[in-house]
Structure 1
Amino acid sequence: MTNLSQRSGLYLWATRIALALFSTAMFLILVKLGFWQLDRAEMKEQWQSELTQRQSSAPLTYDQLVSFPPTEQITGYRLSVLASPATQNIFLLDNQVFNGRVGYLALQPIQVTPDGPWMLVELGFVPAGLDRRILPKVKVITGEVSLNGRLYQKQANPMSSALMPEPGWPKRIQNLNINAISQLLDQPLAPAVLQPDHLDGFDLPHPWTPIPLSSQKHRGYALQWFSMALAFALLILYFIYSRRSKASTKQQDEVTVSNNSDRTNIDEMTVANENKTK
């Protein structure tokens, strides 16, 4: 019985320690996630400030664009070039959403200088049809055109950055992987896509979402994580308080029972003494 009682006591203490460690770890994880979202919000604010500054600065030249280091973030800079279509074939970037509609971003390679890298220009957003087997028809640039607009680079997909091109033209692709497109075309490409302010004869919209989530949304997520941490902490405190309250009540009941037992024994002894006296 003694060994069984000791094992039960050790098991109880081990369970309590495990629950305490788990609760502490969960609370710290929730708090850390909240601070991580605050860091993301601050980073997005800095990035938005940088984008605003780039938009107000003078446009880049094409030579400046192609001389950017591969690791340099180019999104937000403006560019002004005189270009011609390098090919009539276009790419359709899949799984794009604009104003609640699913579709494609149409991209066409253009040529700025005879011996320089080609460049992708965004023709605009094209809604997708009900049958994915039928690709939309998109008007393309056919002659020399003056282009003024802003540059962007899509963020890499953490799950997959593969181009996954489909046969034929227009060619549907799943990711804006410029290096992979360059290999497919067998031509060097500039490191960013040009989104023109206006294309004569084109009426397609040009979505602009360089920052997928705003700093306000990140702060909202941080508030949610901190609220969850607070709720979890209050739940643990309530659990501890209720356990202690139950333990205190049980102890009081045991004391009451013990006192009643002692009184019963005293009463029995008194009655026995009285009987002996008689």
Structure 2
Amino acid sequence: MSTRATARLRMLLPLLAGVLVVALTTSLGNWQLRRAQEKSELQALLDDAAARPAVRATASAPLATDTDEAGLRLGQPLLLEGEWLPAETILLDNRTHAGQAGYHVLTPLKLADGSGVVVVNRGWIAVGPDRRAVPDVSVARGPVQLQGRLHRPEASPFTLARAGQATGGKVVQVLDLAQWAGASGLGLALCPTARPRARGEAAAPCVALWIALQTSVVNDGLVRDWPLPSAGIDRHRGYAFQWYALAALAALLTAGFAWRLIFRRPHEQRNPRFAGH
């Protein structure tokens, strides 16, 4: 390859790289907007579920996994009846409210219909001056009726706990329902996601795959300030804006470089020092 051809190639490579960057960042911005549209549809489902009247749910009630599938949905109001099992209460650590550290208090509720147990997040309580002293989260015994919202525990939450620490004792970093069900003294397994039953066959008691965020007002010192379910639409729109901003910057720089190539002065074309730029 001649020196002149090499110089031309060196001049064109930055231009081609700029075009590729514009195309890539624009494509990523479009992808984020598509994700935002998908999340908008999901948010509509969440809003619809939250606006529904409270329903009585069994522990083995199925969860809807599709837009037109029957079953319970995230954020749906629930009406639960049963008895607390205070001996199995656990505290979910590292939960904050108004900038203050504390716990979420999780107590299982044995449903009156005999279908099993639902773990109820009763609310938030502040950490005391001594972390070794667990706060008093006792609950009244006897039949109770409460309202709540359906919630799914985080699948893989971020935690600073080392392996083996997440489920030790009554204070935990992560709620793993299957692990909790096996370690508890209830003798119940986690409810199956789907299991065909013969007609007339009753489901065995089990631990629900979901939890309930208590919304009933109770004078127990716990804070119940639950945010409404969000699909995270704004996050994807923000990412899209960032990609489009990068695409605009790359387009501006590429256009400036192309303008310089087209309108170079004659003495720059003859000067080897400018040939590679």
User: Which TM-score applies when normalising by structure 2?
Assistant: 0.72
- Find the aligned partners of 2:27 and 2:129 in 1 and give their Cα distance: 44
Task: Tell me whether 1:172 sits opposite 2:190 in the alignment.
Answer: no
Of stretches 48-57 and 232-241 in structure 1, the one that deviates more from structure 2 is 48-57
Out of 178, 188, 210, the position equivalent to 1:192 is 210
Out of 29, 34, 47, the position equivalent to 1:52 is 47
- The amino acid of 1:145's aligned partner reads V
- Find the aligned partners of 1:22 and 1:253 in 2 and give their Cα distance: 24
Deviation, structure 1 residue 102: 3.7
- The amino acid of 1:45's aligned partner reads S
Task: Tell me whether 1:223 sits opposite 2:218 in the alignment.
Answer: no
- The amino acid of 1:172's aligned partner reads V
- Find the aligned partners of 1:149 and 1:90 in 2 and give their Cα distance: 17
Task: Tell me whether 1:30 sits opposite 2:25 in the alignment.
Answer: yes
Task: Tell me whether 1:239 sits opposite 2:238 in the alignment.
Answer: no
1:134 maps to 132
Deviation, structure 1 residue 248: 4.1
Name structure 1 gaps, 5 residues minimum: 1-5, 255-278
- The amino acid of 2:259's aligned partner reads Y
Percent sequence identity is: 22
1:118 maps to 117
Which has the larger share of helix?
1
**When the two structures are aligned, how many residues end up with a matched partner?**
244
2:220 maps to 202
8 Å contact 1:94–1:104 — kept in the other structure?
A: yes
Deviation, structure 1 residue 82: 1.3
Deviation, structure 1 residue 233: 1.0
1:101 maps to 100
Deviation, structure 1 residue 115: 4.3
Superposed CA RMSD: 3.4
- Find the aligned partners of 2:109 and 2:268 in 1 and give their Cα distance: 83
Summarize deviations over 1:243-267 as a string: whole Å, max 9, x none.
Answer: 444464424889xxxxxxxxxxxxx
- The amino acid of 2:108's aligned partner reads P
- The amino acid of 2:33's aligned partner reads L
- Find the aligned partners of 1:130 and 1:230 in 2 and give their Cα distance: 53
2:194 maps to none
- Find the aligned partners of 2:5 and 2:53 in 1 and give their Cα distance: 73
- Find the aligned partners of 1:103 and 1:17 in 2 and give their Cα distance: 60
1:275 maps to none
- Find the aligned partners of 2:257 and 2:88 in 1 and give their Cα distance: 66
Deviation, structure 1 residue 91: 2.2
- Find the aligned partners of 2:5 and 2:135 in 1 and give their Cα distance: 74
Summarize deviations over 1:1-44 as a string: whole Å, max 9, x none.
Answer: xxxxx365565566556545543443233223322332232233
8 Å contact 2:109–2:119 — kept in the other structure?
A: yes
- Find the aligned partners of 2:249 and 2:220 in 1 and give their Cα distance: 54
User: Which TM-score applies when normalising by structure 1?
Assistant: 0.71
Partner of 1:46, secondary structure, is helix
Larger radius of gyration: 1
- Find the aligned partners of 1:183 and 1:18 in 2 and give their Cα distance: 61
- Find the aligned partners of 2:164 and 2:188 in 1 and give their Cα distance: 16
Asked which structure has the greater RCO (Cα within 8 Å, sep 6+), the reply is 2
- Find the aligned partners of 1:87 and 1:219 in 2 and give their Cα distance: 44
Task: Tell me whether 1:148 sits opposite 2:143 in the alignment.
Answer: no
Of stretches 213-222 and 184-193 in structure 1, the one that deviates more from structure 2 is 213-222
- The amino acid of 1:29's aligned partner reads L
Partner of 1:49, secondary structure, is helix
- The amino acid of 2:139's aligned partner reads I
Partner of 1:88, secondary structure, is helix
Partner of 2:212, secondary structure, is strand
